[in-house]
Structure 1
Amino acid sequence: MNVLWLIMICVSIVFAIFTGNLEAFTKSIFEGAKSAVEISLYLLGIVSVWLGITRILEDSGLIYRIAHLFRPIISRLFKNIPGDHPSITAITLNVLANLFGLGNAATPLGIKAMQELDALNQDKGTITPEMMTFIVINTASIQLIPFSVIGILASYEHHNPAVVVLPVLIATAISAMTALLILALFRRIFR
């Protein structure tokens, strides 16, 4: 991937030199870097708020109640996980972070869920069906409210940043269902 980026940058520099746009090219590089830092700091705030909320939920014990509400769905998707195992809570937190479109905040929660699922793994070094299901759900996450996308649109002063909610909900629901169906199909074929 680094080679691809290097080639793209070199081609851009050569093209800018030959077209006489080197000054505009240089200016756009610095403006793009500035914009990237501003957006990163803005998203860092969103992620920090969500991680703080999850910590409060965890410390107050409310997350266990939320996990209990999601237990029938999680138990149906993850049939081989005992009902009181900590992986249920970790999976629930990850799913909730993804539901609210906080993919960056979901990453540490996803890592925790995989560690908890690995604790149940009898054959270390191999992936279990539960791990596969979690990876598929995490990757093709259903987003109820895509806060990150709304935040980016709002930072660019879009007149209606919430316009993406319904299309994102439909697209992510379809992608998650399709991914789960494909996983089930592959499990049957390669059983």
Structure 2
Amino acid sequence: MNRIFAAFILIAFATGAGRELSGTTGVMTAMSQAVIDASRAAVELALGLVGVMAFFLGLMKIAEQGGLLTATARLIAPLMRRLFPEVPPQHPAMGAMIMNFSANLLGLGNAATPFGIRAMQELDRLNPHPGVATDAMVRLLAINTSGLALLPTGVIALRAAAGSIEPAAILPTTLFATTCATLVAIFLTPLLARFYPAPRPTPPVVTYSSEAHVCEETPPLAPLPRWVGWTVALAFVALIAASVRHGQIVSAWIVPTLVVGFIVYGLARGVAVYESFVDGAKEGFQVALRIIPYLVAILAATALLRASGALPFFVSLLAPITGPLGLPAEVLPMAILRPLSGSGAFALLADLLKDPNVGPDSYAGWLASTIQGSTETTFYVLAVYFGAVGIKKMRHAIAAGLAADLAGVIAAVFICSWLYPGAA
């Protein structure tokens, strides 16, 4: 990350200085203003997350004390053991990661981030090298940066506002692209880990008995009966199907139902829900403060690239190459900006869909919507998740995240070109 951050700054300065010295006035002024605006936006973004993180971390505390995280870990224990063999099956990190994945699948970005931060904090408890990302941390982050969404509600709403005939018709293309990106993230992370020094294996979780004065290994929790897993899986599939068919109605019910479900579960398990909620919510403000420096660094460097003209220049070089491959010039800037700035990419998508020469139902509109809905802002996720636990050495996290982004873009181009060949 040190080299990437320095490269962003140096490339931006060299490009801006070259343009300014060649006669394009105002470039350095624009870069100065961009750094100030980006730094301010980073702090505002972090503070804006305080309330959301406090709320959902409070709910997570109730779930943790009520045993819900352990129960959810048991629910899909075989799958999670294969994805995260370094994490003990009964560890709270398993349940937190499942919550994070579920929220992402349903398009609940506001809930997914606090759940992901909680999962990262639990994984950090198993970290034998504080400040260095473990294999499990990198894999969690790569899966998050791959998109992992079945319901891109924000993109669908934007398409509807732009006058699309079928706003939700991007669901199959988005599902295909995000599935490809997620599979690449899962299979590529262990391969990339070989080129980076890995931490020592996680020691087994032990419990200490004061009476016997011995330590014994905690036995892993047995998975729940298969019928329980199938019942939950079918309920989840039914929820997704209902969301696709009645998206606006179902999506409005998801968060309130989730909140009530956590509270009712806590009460049924005898948890002091108010005290637990407050204890968990206290972490929200502390996490927001910890991630501010990381956000400032990432957003400022990205803003410099854009203001200097380096990013548009890079786009102009690639456009003649990507156009014949199915990635038109009007979509390319958004595809490149997506891993760097989520808000910037969203703004470009909005402008593209409102452009009368493009529109939401053209090939470019379909492709841009699919890319936005099936990829994630890699550097933002890196800053928030790793910043929450003070990770400075990210190992292969950036390479895995960018590879997943690239796979998502390639898959989006392939599926959109195949389903809508007449528009390409």
State the TM bucket, normalised to the shorter chain. 0.5 to 0.7
Choose from 164, 169, 175 the match for 1:169: 175
Q: Partners of 2:70 and 2:153 in 1: how far apart? A: 24
Q: Radius of gyration: which is bigger?
A: 2
Contact 1:98–1:142, Cα closer than 8 Å, also in 2: yes
TM-score with structure 1 setting the length:
0.64
User: After superposition, where does 1:1-191 map in structure 2 within 5 Å?
Assistant: 7=27, 58=63, 65-190=71-196
How far does the alpha carbon of each residue in 1:11-47 deviate from its partner, in whole angstroms, 9 at most, with x for none?
xxxxxxxxxxxxxxxxxxxxxxxxxxxxxxxxx9xx8
Cα drift, residue 186 of structure 1: 1.4
Structure 1 residues 177 and 186 mapped into 2: Cα distance closer, same or farther (>3 Å)?
same
Shift of 1:58: 3.7
- Alpha carbons of structure 1 residues 79 and 93: separation in structure 2 relative to 1, 3 Å: same
TM-aligned CA distance change 1:123 to 1:190, over 3 Å: closer
- Distance apart, 1:84 and its partner CA: 1.3
Counterpart of 1:127, as a letter, is: A
Report the 3-state secondary structure (helix = DSSP H, G, I; strand = E; otherwise coil) of the residue aligned with 1:75.
Answer: helix
CA deviation vs aligned residue, 1:58-78 (integer Å, no higher than 9, x gap): 488666544432322222111
Structure 1 residue matching 2:193: 3-state secondary structure: helix
The whole-number CA distance in structure 2 between the counterparts of 1:150 and 1:161 is: 5
Give yes or no for contact 1:87–1:113 (8 Å, CA) kept in 2. yes
Q: 1:126 to 1:158 in 2, by over 3 A?
A: same
State the alpha-carbon separation in 1 of the partners of residues 90 and 69 from structure 2.
13
- 1:80-127 deviations in Å (ceiling 9; x for gaps): 111111111111111111112233431111111111100111221211
Q: Distance in 2 between matches of 1:86 and 1:66?
A: 10
Deviates more, 1:127-136 or 1:69-78: 69-78
SS at the partner of 1:141?
coil
Contact 2:71-2:95 at 8 Å conserved across structures = no
Q: Which amino acid aligns with 1:78?
A: F
RMSD: 3.6
2:83 & 2:116 partners in 1: Cα distance?
Answer: 16
Q: Separation in 2 of the partners of 1:181 and 1:77?
A: 10
**Residues 63 and 121 (structure 1 numbering): CA distance in 2 closer, same or farther, change over 3 Å?**
closer
Greater mean alpha carbon deviation, residues 140-149 or residues 153-162 = 153-162
Query: Which amino acid is 1:168 matched to?
Result: T
Shift in alpha-carbon separation, 1:159–1:62, aligned structure 2, 3 A: farther
User: Which residue identity does 1:167 align to in structure 2?
Assistant: T
- How far did residue 150 of structure 1 move? 2.1
Determine the C-alpha separation between the residues in 2 that align with 1:157 and 1:189: 48
Across the two proteins, how many residue pairs are aligned to each other? 153
Asked if the contact 1:95–1:141 (Cα under 8 Å) also holds between the matched residues in 2, the reply is no
Secondary structure at 1:80's aligned position in 2? Answer: coil
Taking only the aligned residue pairs, the percentage that are identical comes to: 37
**Structure of higher RCO (CA pairs closer than 8 Å, 6+ residues apart):** 2
Q: Distance in 2 between matches of 1:63 and 1:8?
A: 51
1:7: how far off? Answer: 4.6
The one-letter code of the counterpart of 2:139 is T
Q: C-alpha distance in 2, partners of 1:168/1:9?
A: 39
Alpha-carbon distance in structure 1 between the residues aligned to 2:193 and 2:109: 27
Are the aligned partners of 1:90 and 1:109 in contact in 2 as well (CA < 8 Å)? yes
Change (3 A) 1:72 1:149: farther
Q: Say if 2:73 and 2:98, in contact at 8 Å, map to a contact too.
A: yes
Contact kept, 8 Å, 2:150 with 2:175, in 1: the verdict is yes
The alpha-carbon deviation at position 149 of structure 1 amounts to: 2.1
**Gapped regions of structure 2 (runs ≥ 5):** 1-7, 14-25, 31-48, 198-424
Q: For the residues of structure 1 that align with 2:159 and 2:117, how far apart are their CA atoms?
A: 28
